[in-house]
């Protein structure tokens, strides 16, 4: 993984932890797919989707439901 990718992921996580819905969803997608050099981790993916879903937006709620349907 390049240093640029590492820095981008660090900034993405920071934004997600500060409550950015799109960043939370993207973190869920990255961990769910194992992309950008990140190891696939369904539990971590679920964590990010849950955090985003708690904001009341339908998109992450649907992604969370799909995680429960296929991964749990």
Domain that holds residue 49: 3-71
* Residue 54 parent element (H or E): none
Q: Is the pLDDT of residue 17 over 70?
A: yes
pLDDT at position 35 is 93
The count of domains in the chain is 1
In which region does residue 39 sit, left (phi positive, over 0), alpha (psi from -120 to 50) or beta (all else)? beta
pTM to 2 decimal places: 0.87
Rounded CA separation 3/12 (Å): 14
Q: Is the pLDDT of residue 1 over 80?
A: no
Closest CA to 25 of 4, 3, 66: 66
């Amino acid at each position: 993984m390049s240093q640029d990718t590492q820095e981008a992921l660090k900034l993405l996580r920071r934004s997600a932890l500060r409550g950015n819905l799109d960043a939370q969803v993207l973190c869920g997608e990255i961990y769910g797919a194992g992309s950008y050099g990140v190891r696939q981790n369904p539990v971590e993916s679920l964590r990010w989707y849950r955090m985003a879903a708690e904001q009341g937006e339908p998109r992450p709620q649907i992604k969370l439901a799909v995680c429960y349907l296929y991964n749990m």
